[in-house]
Structure 1
Amino acid sequence: MGMHFNLADLFEAVADKVPEREALVCGSNRSSFAELDAGANQMAHYLAAQGVKAGDHVGLYMYNCSEYLEAMLACFKIRAVPINVNYRYVKDELLYIFDNADMVACIHHREFIPAIAEVREAAKKLKVFISVPDQSDEDLSAVGAVDYHAAKEGQNKARDFTERCGSDYFILYTGGTTGMPKGVMWPHENVFFAAMGGGGHFSPLGACVVPEDMASRVSENPLRGIALAPLMHGASWWYACIQLLAGNTLILNHHRSFDGAAVWQIVADEKIHAIQIVGDAMAIPLLDALAENPDRWDLSNVFNVGSGGAIFSDAKQEAFKKYFPNVFITNSFGSSEGGQMGMDNGSKKTASGLGNVSRNDEMDVIIDEEGQPRRHAEIGETGIFARSGYIPMGYYNDPVKTAKTFIEVDGKRWLLTGDAAKIEDDGSITVFGRGSNCINSGGEKIFPEEVEDALKAHEGIFDALVVGVADDRWGNRVSAIIQARKGIKLDLNNVQEHCRKHIAGYKVPREIHLIDELPRAPSGKPDYKTAKAFAESGAGAVA
């Protein structure tokens, strides 16, 4: 059988190259590449014996655990389609995803049995339940589940699967900031190149040209990297795959709540080199733990702090450099639909924006105005950041949203990311952030992320969101919803004076609202809709 740009094929090539090398660490569970591969083969055989076949959808409804990645690989091996289920979802979101995703099987932590029992009628095709043990004692018979390890027992550890292909796909459900989850359909080959660097992140040889190149891209000196976010999120899942396909050792954060001190203990114990976070939401508690525990841990092995999936402010990047003077900071930006679309490592060409990328045949800015033909932007114009080439197939079971997001311009298919972007004078692209959140104040366009970045540089501000509130004179005025640090009193004048040191005067918040905890969607992303309603209500306003 031929080898393809299929994630199962690629992983097996790595496992054959370095079978005895440590692949995965999660709490007390440790697996070599050979052991992870064999375990995935066993689960793949069990799923196949239960009637799961190529193209069938399998839900992964778990916290971070070794079984999550093993089950994911098992799906890939039999060409089934893994579906990430957000464990933070409550009944309405679960009802939607169980109905929308057409799952035939669900691999879940045992504690989720009551939640599954409540919504399982929405999933008419769902017949197979496999329960991963945890600290709970929920009744397996409530959904007819079988224990995960009992299911694997006695199953064949060998590979005797049918030939796969690069067009096999998986579905990444993304909550976004509004609305119900939507399933992004990613072919393996496309996500490998769009989100995983084509296997070239750790090799001087660069991205693979043919699938057989994968083994030659395996790191001779493996790194130890930790994925701190839940695997149910795209940024963490991609990072996990990047590490495994490089032959590196992947460490998972096995704690179910994010505790900075607990994370640094793992980093010290496992002698970790690279830390992958999701923006300031993780950076803040990590930095606080370092400040509160000077010299507690030996963190001398750390040389990279990377972020993806959320804003990683300049202030927090600089704070990490104070603790790790030689650290290499990487700040990737992209989306569930776009993969990794750029990276800022201190080379931003403008003070504003998330970062810059080179304009090329697969990265551009599209002007998409109602009633006008879609076109490519000219120098100086601001439009929507777009990607072509290695992009998803569309949204599962949502042709309307697919048609709005995946468009054709001059005979070529493009993905509209939703991020506002501008073509600079040198032809490069500056990416600003969600265009839908852009504030138009007196004709000036203000991107919330830029103002939030300035606010977070204030020592008394723990976190902040920025929204536009209706204004009779300016159309909209900039309003900041702020979570202050404990014991800190903030006033409008103090915050404004601070911001003027970082951003232009027209971008400075005209009002601030203090809140105990910033609102977030079940996906963990900022909930701008709730934040705006809070500001409009006048709650927490400070003069």
Structure 2
Amino acid sequence: MTGLSGAGQRAVSAARAGGMFARSGLWRPGPPLKVVRQLGALRRWGTLLGGTVASAAARDPDVVAIADQEGELTYGEVDARTDRLAAALGRAVGAGEPGRAGGPRRVGVLCRNHRGMVETLVACSKSGSDLVLLNTGMSAEQLVTVIEQQGVQTVIADEEFAEFLALVPAGVQSIRTGPELEDLIVTASGARVEPPSKAGRTIVLSSGTTGRPKGADRRARPGLSPLTSILSRIPYRVHERMLIDAPLFHTWGYAMLQTAISLRATIVLRPRFDPEQTLRAIAETGATALVAVPVMLQRIMDVPDEARRKHDTSSLRIAAVSGSALPATLATAFMDEFGDVLYNLYGSTEASWVTIATPADLRARPGTAGTPPPGTTVAILDEEGAPVPPGTTGRIFAANELPFTGYTGGGDGGAKEMRDGLMSLGDVGHLDEDGRLYVHGRDDDMIVSGGENVFPSAIEAVVEALPQVREAAVVGVPDERFGRRAAAFIVVRDGETLDADTVRDHVRDHLARFAVPRDVHFVDALPRNATGKVVRRRLQPRPDADDPS
């Protein structure tokens, strides 16, 4: 859009969005009275989570919104129930009491994927509460530290986290999902809930793979830009049946929940991931879209062929993944098994998604993270902040319309590094001549060995190409001679055998000498957090490592 005025750019953007909404069915004509009610709800509530539920209920009150282990709820039922829950929470926490620093109440949510989680998120949006999404993979002590740092005043959690709830500090109210939360909903008055004067904030915890998790403040912003950027690459449609296996407390799962509600989709939820249950759920519900993290796809592919193929997954049009690196070999294997339905999104807690790879991208270049959607800019910069040519490795910076305003609760690194309006994502990578992004890894994961730069992802990709390897991770370890050296941690497929020399010979055939891992560890599993990312700091070399030196 170079050369266009601001008004011209807005017109082009509006036309592009209109085309995407038409293709998705969002602009499909409907009964006039329902359309009027839908537009009225949007005018009253806006396009935040509570508003999209109210709008969906006005247009399609009888469409199933949530299907979980408890049964089904329609959009009309979810809208009415979350109105009552918003009112009940207001009374329970003291609607007139100021929150942290005189602001709104701050509610921490610690739940698996189920209706109670969704209804709590919607109710918090309707009441204007600040929302802190707590990570189910944290220990009780870590969770207590987080709620203290974030100034949480009310905690809503599943019964399985009773150990944490017992440690909640005095003065912090706790509410359990299940019968207690249901009682709040059914006993609350049906009084009309008014939109809050100011939208609450959503605080998402960073993954914590490199240190203490930080609360990333993602202020709610009305508008359709996030949905437009997703629909520009992923062909979601109105009334999808979307199985969300990615945790809803994570940026990725939460964003796809918002997308699903905007599309008046049926959201299929299960509290824990199991690969065969996912395949069964796709077959039984006719799911058209799967939202997952890459390690979930790996576990699906690990299901024996006979067991995997007994489930009819022909309804699946879209499998969208994010949250951690998607190995090139896995991308190809998954599409060979399920068809060209795979979409890979790259981003961060702070920036949300910044590139999206389509099936065509992944067929052409399986290791790519894709291209930026409309409204997003990605640049590769050197240490001085200057752009580098295509094919040159540098630091990844990005800017988009999804606001990040800093860390909350005293999180270290209160501001991300900025260069000309672009934010550092903390990763290194390169762009190719077609504008596709390739992510090499965290900038602090790079191994400097004897003066040479070694990127763990390059070694991992080569090792994972071995047919005996299920997955691999590479880290740098101290070396008296070279400063650092590469150490490989490898999970071998069931029934396969592999030795360290074979691994080294394979890497030596494909990469430079200094990239060959001297230490090779065979492990049962890689340590991962709740969103599937490998926690590299927990990969510790063993004294008996296979190192010929």
Task: Report the TM-score range of the alignment, normalised by the length of the smaller protein.
Answer: 0.7 to 0.9
CA contact (8 A) 1:191 1:339 kept: no
- The separation in 2 between residues aligned to 1:260 and 1:100, in whole angstroms, is 36
428-437 or 226-235, which moves further after superposition?
A: 428-437
How much has 1:76 moved relative to structure 2? Answer: 0.2
- Over 3 Å counting, the alpha-carbon distance change for 1:113 and 1:91 in structure 2 is closer
- Over 3 Å counting, the alpha-carbon distance change for 1:358 and 1:43 in structure 2 is closer
432-441 or 262-271, which moves further after superposition?
A: 432-441
- In the alignment, what sits opposite 1:116? 165
- In the alignment, what sits opposite 2:501? 493
- In structure 2, which of residues 327, 337, 340 is the aligned counterpart of residue 327 of structure 1? 340
* Structure 2 residue 197 is matched with structure 1 residue 187: no
- Over 3 Å counting, the alpha-carbon distance change for 1:197 and 1:471 in structure 2 is farther
- In the alignment, what sits opposite 1:140? none
- The separation in 1 between residues aligned to 2:474 and 2:412, in whole angstroms, is 30
* Structure 2 residue 243 is matched with structure 1 residue 240: no
- In the alignment, what sits opposite 2:455? 447
- Over 3 Å counting, the alpha-carbon distance change for 1:55 and 1:201 in structure 2 is farther
Report the secondary structure of 2:320's partner residue. strand
- In the alignment, what sits opposite 1:73? 122
| Amino acid of the structure 1 residue aligned with 2:206 | T
- Over 3 Å counting, the alpha-carbon distance change for 1:498 and 1:171 in structure 2 is same
Give the gaps of 5 or more residues in structure 2.
1-42, 97-102
Report the secondary structure of 1:489's partner residue. coil
- The separation in 2 between residues aligned to 1:250 and 1:59, in whole angstroms, is 23
- In structure 1, which of residues 212, 215, 229 is the aligned counterpart of residue 246 of structure 2? 229
Taking the TM superposition and a 5 Å limit, the aligned residue runs for 1:285-434 are: 285-293=299-307, 295-324=309-338, 326-345=339-358, 346-347=360-361, 354-357=368-371, 362-365=376-379, 367=381, 369=383, 375-379=385-389, 382-390=393-401, 391-398=403-410, 400-403=412-415, 405-407=416-418, 409-410=419-420, 412=421, 414-422=422-430, 429-434=437-442
| Amino acid of the structure 1 residue aligned with 2:477 | V
How much has 1:492 moved relative to structure 2? Answer: 2.0
| Amino acid of the structure 2 residue aligned with 1:270 | T
- The separation in 1 between residues aligned to 2:161 and 2:462, in whole angstroms, is 40
How much has 1:360 moved relative to structure 2? Answer: 9.3
- The separation in 1 between residues aligned to 2:491 and 2:115, in whole angstroms, is 35
- In the alignment, what sits opposite 2:188? 155
- The separation in 2 between residues aligned to 1:523 and 1:361, in whole angstroms, is 26
* Structure 2 residue 269 is matched with structure 1 residue 252: yes
CA contact (8 A) 1:432 1:449 kept: yes
Report the secondary structure of 1:437's partner residue. coil
- In the alignment, what sits opposite 1:277? 292
- The separation in 2 between residues aligned to 1:178 and 1:261, in whole angstroms, is 32
How much has 1:389 moved relative to structure 2? Answer: 4.2
- In the alignment, what sits opposite 2:14? none
CA contact (8 A) 1:29 1:66 kept: no
- In the alignment, what sits opposite 1:438? 446
Report the secondary structure of 1:517's partner residue. coil
- The separation in 1 between residues aligned to 2:466 and 2:393, in whole angstroms, is 29
**CA deviation map 1:166-185 (0-9, x unaligned):** x6421111233032221111
- Over 3 Å counting, the alpha-carbon distance change for 1:192 and 1:68 in structure 2 is farther
TM (norm. structure 1) is: 0.82
CA contact (8 A) 2:485 2:518 kept: yes
- Over 3 Å counting, the alpha-carbon distance change for 1:427 and 1:327 in structure 2 is closer
Report the secondary structure of 2:332's partner residue. helix
How much has 1:278 moved relative to structure 2? Answer: 0.6
* Structure 2 residue 174 is matched with structure 1 residue 129: yes
Taking the TM superposition and a 5 Å limit, the aligned residue runs for 1:253-268 are: 253-254=270-271, 256=272, 258-268=273-283
| Amino acid of the structure 2 residue aligned with 1:378 | V
- Over 3 Å counting, the alpha-carbon distance change for 1:199 and 1:22 in structure 2 is farther
- The separation in 2 between residues aligned to 1:238 and 1:347, in whole angstroms, is 22
| Amino acid of the structure 2 residue aligned with 1:321 | M
| Amino acid of the structure 2 residue aligned with 1:392 | F
CA contact (8 A) 2:108 2:155 kept: yes
Report the secondary structure of 1:189's partner residue. coil
| Amino acid of the structure 1 residue aligned with 2:176 | S
- The separation in 2 between residues aligned to 1:349 and 1:133, in whole angstroms, is 44
- Over 3 Å counting, the alpha-carbon distance change for 1:321 and 1:387 in structure 2 is closer
CA contact (8 A) 1:41 1:156 kept: no
| Amino acid of the structure 2 residue aligned with 1:277 | A
- The separation in 2 between residues aligned to 1:197 and 1:359, in whole angstroms, is 9
How much has 1:102 moved relative to structure 2? Answer: 1.0
* Structure 2 residue 64 is matched with structure 1 residue 19: no
**CA deviation map 1:228-273 (0-9, x unaligned):** 122222222222221121111111123x3x3221221111111111
Taking the TM superposition and a 5 Å limit, the aligned residue runs for 1:95-114 are: 95-114=144-163
How much has 1:29 moved relative to structure 2? Answer: 2.1
Report the secondary structure of 1:282's partner residue. helix
CA contact (8 A) 2:354 2:378 kept: no
- In the alignment, what sits opposite 2:488? 480
| Amino acid of the structure 2 residue aligned with 1:529 | R
12-21 or 446-455, which moves further after superposition?
A: 446-455
- The separation in 1 between residues aligned to 2:479 and 2:370, in whole angstroms, is 32
Report the secondary structure of 1:334's partner residue. strand
- The separation in 2 between residues aligned to 1:504 and 1:191, in whole angstroms, is 49
How much has 1:131 moved relative to structure 2? Answer: 1.2
Give the gaps of 5 or more residues in structure 1.
135-146, 205-217
- The separation in 2 between residues aligned to 1:481 and 1:160, in whole angstroms, is 54
CA contact (8 A) 2:217 2:405 kept: yes
Report the secondary structure of 1:306's partner residue. strand
| Amino acid of the structure 1 residue aligned with 2:344 | N
Report the secondary structure of 1:305's partner residue. strand
Report the secondary structure of 2:291's partner residue. strand
- The separation in 2 between residues aligned to 1:245 and 1:406, in whole angstroms, is 33
Report the secondary structure of 1:8's partner residue. helix
**CA deviation map 1:350-370 (0-9, x unaligned):** 96964343599852446575x
| Amino acid of the structure 2 residue aligned with 1:130 | I
How much has 1:481 moved relative to structure 2? Answer: 0.6
- In the alignment, what sits opposite 1:538? 543
- The separation in 1 between residues aligned to 2:314 and 2:437, in whole angstroms, is 36
